[in-house]
Structure 1
Amino acid sequence: MELNVDILTLFPEMFDIFNYSIIGRAIENKIIDINTHNIRDYSVNKHKKTDDYPYGGGQGMVMTVQPLVDAIEGVKKNNEGKVIFLGPRGKKFDQEMAKDLSKEKNLIFVCGHYEGIDERVYNYIDLEISLGDFVLTGGEMACIPIVDSIARLIPGVLKVAESYEDESFYNGVLEYPQYTRPECFRDDVVPEILLSGHHENIRKWRRKKSLILTKTRRPDMFKKISLSKEDKKLLMENK
């Protein structure tokens, strides 16, 4: 097993999505293992409650400390990986973080809900990640794409034809335009260079298009690129 993931959640059924497509195949092939744990199972409350009103007043409910901490400690008996909480205080998730986390053998994700978690739970968390500056219904909504982006970087998860190395963000640039059959659709034709069979010219065209797309669509990303002599030459050709 290359990667073992445990997910603490109030809604385990939401993660059935991992039983399909590329990730489902990786699970079948025992490359990765994804297990969910219902936080309610760890609650000592007779009604299995996991939330309560916040001290000091305020809107909404807060996830209580006992079931969360007991769930974390219970899972850590078999998983010594980092405990990751999906929350707004965390570092914003990106491809570099996905690469770093894909090198881990074990990971534990904690999905919050309601108005947040009891502050004391943070004593048991190693890393907090935010998907972005917007509000989601719960941590599950952030956990799914994060686990997916990490898992697809594990060796053997993707077939050669599905290689991630040319995908957007992997090398710091957006992916170049892609075309497939038919060659002509409503007078809109595939660029001639892609039909030439000249691999070096195709490579340069794709790199040039990636740079141009990144510069125009994501200037924030473009500023971080260390341009090679070839990159600068390709961009000059566009002027």
Structure 2
Amino acid sequence: MRIDVVSIFPAFLDVLDLSLIGRAREDGLIDLRVHDLRDWAHDRHRTVDDTPLGGGAGMVMRPDVWGEALDAVLADGAEVPGGPETPGGALGAGRAVLLIPTPAGEVFTQRTAEDLAGADRLIVACGRYEGIDSRVPRHYAARGIEVRELSIGDYVLNGGEAAAIVMIEAIARLLPGVLGNPASVVEESHSALGLLEHEALTRPVAWRGLDAPEVLLSGDHARIARARRDEAIARTAARRPDMIRALDPTTLDSQDRAALARHGWVVPAGSLGPAPMRLRPAEPDDARALAALAARTFPDACPPFLAPEEIAAHVARALTPERFAQWIADERAGVAVAELPEGSPAGSDAEPIAPGELVGYAVFLLETRDADGALPEGLDARPPSIAAPDAASGRAVAELSKVYADSRLRASGLAPVLISHALASAARAGATEIWLGTHEGNRRARKAYKRAGFSARGTRVYEVGGTACRDVVMSLTLAPAGEPSPRKEPRA
């Protein structure tokens, strides 16, 4: 690639002789030429600017000087793929691009750098003062030359040289042979993956009380790749939510979606991109919406032999607004809800999710009696396979009563997040063991609970609308600190 830079301070560009860009020049990978704009000024003072037409502060760079300079630089291209200027006024075969750094330009991004790395020739016009006369880019665009006015950020510099250095380095490092390891550009921040780069760590493994993650020392390349990908998602969610919004759902696997959900983003079915998700304790005003969500989601977990009227009878008895209101008011119950504050992204193919609509919930119930000796409403009888705690042991048992996600959030990673939240909340409430029952035919739910650390402990019979259903009973020991133990990393 040939790169020509025109500036009134050509020495400013000497920094490009350093490091990898300088080595690429030496190796002939980049033909970088720097020109002094004042060489095309004809008065004694080599003047390149004048006062603004119509008045105003500052000075504007003259179009006549820039026109002569750019004409000469563009014509000096016989030996590059762009070729000499043709009689029609445009360059010959190949792609030549005139770049003008300006705070009024389009934002220069990694995608811009990738695009410009495919050009044969770049001509960079570095303005100063109030900038280059606006007729200059219009003139060359009219001649058929590709003109790009670009900004490296929402701030103003004294001139275009610093911005030119930034753009040249970002573009040149993408050219074949410039970087020693071509893979370096694949996983770095702002690459085509759409994420910030994961943390970079080296030896010593332990430094000032900070130890590198064990997975990096495991030699298990698949685990390392997954850990780095999760770290990249976490970093991007925390620092650049705009990049999370722009992710293409077709590039995200189930583990990506689970990682996004852990950091407050979900991908609704048919969505054009991730949407922010908020997990919070249920409030009294949520009772009616929770009952409506329960009525929609409970049938998804039911075996196919149950008749619709049997399911409806169970919902009408056990999943009413009054029951949810009781749970929300009871300190022995933990009710968490997930909502999409902004709804689903515009343009999604599936049924839209309204802003603030509840899309998931989880309920746990502590097996403790109130002052009247009553257990929480809706607490199921503890199966025989779950031993009663010794009164003197300080142990408490909880039932993970409900974990449901809207069907539009299926495979989004929301369910594992709801499970994790319920387990941590139950441990903080004093539970040391938590159990659940799920229908023996619901393999998807059983796999999700197993990934969260639950183990099968037996079976029970559970009635829905008067029909007996056979459940698998699963349980998990909770560590006193509030973290489930043992437990696997939750996945979608």
Choose from 22, 38, 54 the match for 1:40. Answer: 38
Structure 1 residues 1-239: aligned runs within 5 Å:
3-79=1-77, 80=82, 81-122=96-137, 123-124=139-140, 126-160=147-181, 163-170=184-191, 171-227=193-249, 228-230=252-254, 231-236=256-261, 239=417
Aligned partners of 2:13, 2:183: CA distance in 1, in Å?
23
Using a 3 Å threshold, how does the CA distance of structure 1 residues 210 and 37 change in structure 2: closer, same or farther?
same
AA in 1 matched with 2:140? Y
Aligned partners of 1:45, 1:78: CA distance in 2, in Å?
24
Percent identity over the alignment is 40
Aligned partners of 1:234, 1:133: CA distance in 2, in Å?
31
Return the TM-score normalized by structure 1: 0.94
CA apart distance, 1:156 = 0.3
CA apart distance, 1:236 = 4.7
Aligned partners of 2:248, 2:135: CA distance in 1, in Å?
42
- Give the stretch that moved more between structures: 80-89 or 54-63: 80-89
Contact preservation (8 Å) 2:4, 2:33: yes
Superposed CA offset, 1:158-197 (max 9, x none):
0018721121111211000111011101221000000000
Unaligned ranges ≥5, structure 1: none
Aligned partners of 1:191, 1:134: CA distance in 2, in Å?
38
Aligned partners of 2:194, 2:253: CA distance in 1, in Å?
17
Using a 3 Å threshold, how does the CA distance of structure 1 residues 140 and 162 change in structure 2: closer, same or farther?
farther
- Give the stretch that moved more between structures: 52-61 or 21-30: 52-61
Aligned partners of 2:253, 2:182: CA distance in 1, in Å?
30
Classify the secondary structure of the residue corresponding to 1:71: helix
CA apart distance, 1:237 = 6.3
Rg comparison, structure with higher value:
2
Aligned partners of 1:57, 1:235: CA distance in 2, in Å?
53
Q: How many residues are matched? A: 237
AA in 1 matched with 2:51? Y
Contact preservation (8 Å) 2:110, 2:190: yes
AA in 2 matched with 1:131? I
AA in 2 matched with 1:233? A
CA apart distance, 1:83 = 1.1
Classify the secondary structure of the residue corresponding to 1:26: helix
Larger relative contact order (C-alpha < 8 A, sep ≥ 6)?
A: 1
CA apart distance, 1:6 = 0.2
- Give the stretch that moved more between structures: 214-223 or 229-238: 229-238
AA in 2 matched with 1:197? G
Aligned partners of 2:59, 2:218: CA distance in 1, in Å?
62
Using a 3 Å threshold, how does the CA distance of structure 1 residues 19 and 162 change in structure 2: closer, same or farther?
farther
- Give the stretch that moved more between structures: 158-167 or 82-91: 158-167
- Give the stretch that moved more between structures: 122-131 or 98-107: 122-131
Classify the secondary structure of the residue corresponding to 1:205: helix
Q: Choose between structure 1 and 2: higher helix proportion.
A: 1
Classify the secondary structure of the residue corresponding to 2:75: coil
- Give the stretch that moved more between structures: 163-172 or 173-182: 163-172
Cα RMSD after superposing both structures: 1.5
Contact preservation (8 Å) 2:234, 2:259: no
CA apart distance, 1:229 = 2.3
Which residue pairs with 2:290 in the alignment?
none
* Runs of 4+ residues deviating >2 angstroms: 233-239
CA apart distance, 1:120 = 2.0
CA apart distance, 1:45 = 2.0
Unaligned ranges ≥5, structure 2: 83-95, 142-146, 264-416, 418-492
